[in-house]
Structure 1
């Protein structure tokens, strides 16, 4: 369940959660704290499980008094509200919320560099001049990354999340991957989902089905989700990418996200320009 990989890294495998916790301090080792943080992640998951029906209900986004909700669900709702989208449920921010909570827990334990990777939804906390680099993949499930983004303690970026075809959640679009940078992982998570949903266009090569036909327990019954993409026209890919960029630009103009990188087959677009760089450059 909890495996110590090194003095600064722990792996948690519990139910739907596969999380790599990495943290360091300029003063001492945090191996014990990392194991405790993994235990805290389990506690948060069990807390959310008690209100799972609320978490999967789109009406919860408009819950009148968020103080009545348990902390993880409250943060999920706040993240989805920030998108101003009417189709996302709180579950659009679940993985990023878990990453944020664990990362903040470790900062309280005096960690100065924290990277929590919850299945690709990453919380980053850099303090006291710490820096790091994070790899971006051109598609969900790619064996390696092709681009890199450099982060420092002055960037105000605390979350990186990726969504798209082949991910753990359904998508309505055709993006191979959409990676978003934001102040928190939960904001990045919900916005990556939203931008990936907008990376879409009309084409007979895009096959969709109602979400509930693929998962009876889905949080988005009645929504058409992409199940297969083949023989797409070049114009379809360009239009889908353009649609995704419009949504990403809107979110960035409102200060919700700091940037996004979108991959559709061999097409790549990012805002702002220079957000990340190819590893072979």
Structure 2
């Protein structure tokens, strides 16, 4: 495995951090010296994030239970904490790995610093910091359904994490959602919840859906022999609605339990919204676009 890499993107404002499967875009806003030190802290913390996870990877791939396990690494602890409240269904801490890494890196940036705003975008799963009175605009996936493709997060909303899951994404999904975007208190919580909501957008046994065992695609997958979606064929409008309503029921349950703030579910031109998502007109909203979640 190559060593951790850090370099500035072409705009000179965003820092790109890469190490193996972890690929981050980081940006801070505020006084120049505060931002400079925040970036230095991010680079320093990034040196050991992946090695720490690798040390505990076998246990992180095991299903969560209602009683949390003790992990040594702080990122692994974040992963476990995010999935334990969801453990009545099958879920492993790996469902929260991207959001947890984003949270961990953001915490490193903020330690001792005074920043107006900041974000860590881990492939679309993001952790955000907003000072008093601040807001941030995020681009979301799965639109083109008559909705604007931007959401505005304000400091007073209490949302500090956004994540997206679905069968078209970089991770495996048991469901057929094109995309499910979740807003929550942390990136880890958003990541874990998005995984389960996307899994629930489904039509079990439908002949137009092609699935294969996760192990056939990735022998070390935490999903083992569970069938993951590889292709979704033509579905009727009623079938699409049925699948989305199944996911919406899970999203509403999570929202009632205080596990998420809001979610948007997308499948084949139809949409379901749970909770309040401030949808902004494209390219006309305040704040800073942060993530194509």
1:40 paired to 2:42: no
| 1:146-225 map, 5 Å | 146-202=148-204, 203-225=206-228
Equivalenced residues, count: 275
Matched, 1:113 2:86: no
Q: Secondary structure at the match of 2:53?
A: helix
- Pairwise CA RMSD: 2.2
1: distance between equivalents of 2:207 and 2:69?
45
Q: Which has the higher contact order (CA 8 A, sep 6+)?
A: 2
Greater mean alpha carbon deviation, residues 17-26 or residues 271-280: 271-280
What TM-score do you get using the length of structure 1 for normalisation?
0.90
- Residue equivalent to 1:268: 271
> Counterpart in 1 of 2:287?
none
Structure 2 counterpart SS, 1:208: strand
CA contact under 8 A between 2:24 and 2:121: conserved in structure 1? yes
Deviation at 1:112?
A: 2.6
Taking structure 1 as reference, are residues 181 and 236 closer, same or farther at Cα in structure 2, changes over 3 Å only? Answer: same
Q: 1:27 to 1:42 in 2, by over 3 A?
A: closer
The offset of 1:183, in angstroms, is 0.2
Deviation at 1:270, TM superposition (A): 0.9
Structure 2: which 5+ residue stretches go unaligned?
285-293
Distance 2:86 2:68 in 1: 18
3-state secondary structure, aligned to 2:59: helix
Q: Secondary structure at the match of 2:203?
A: coil
Give me the whole-angstrom Cα distance separating, in 2, the residues matched to 1:175 and 1:147: 17
After superposing the two structures, state which structure 1 stretch, 108-117 or 208-217, moved more: 108-117
Does residue 1:92 correspond to 2:92, yes or no?
Answer: no
Q: Distance in 1 between matches of 2:272 and 2:69?
A: 39
Structure 1, unmatched stretches of 5+, are none
1:134 to 111, 118, 138: 138
1:83 Cα deviation after fit: 2.1
- Give the 3 Å change call, closer, same or farther, for CA 65–138 of structure 1 in structure 2: closer
TM-score scaled to structure 2, two decimals?
A: 0.87
For residue 291 of structure 2, what is the aligned residue in structure 1?
Answer: none
In structure 2, which of residues 217, 241, 244 is the aligned counterpart of residue 241 of structure 1? 244
Q: Is the 8 A contact 2:262 2:277 kept in 1?
A: no
TM superposition shift of 1:279: 2.8
Deviations along 1:30-71, one digit per CA (max 9) or x if unpaired, are: 23531430341231211111111111111x5466652x5321
Alignment counterpart, residue 8 of structure 2, candidates 1, 4, 11: 4
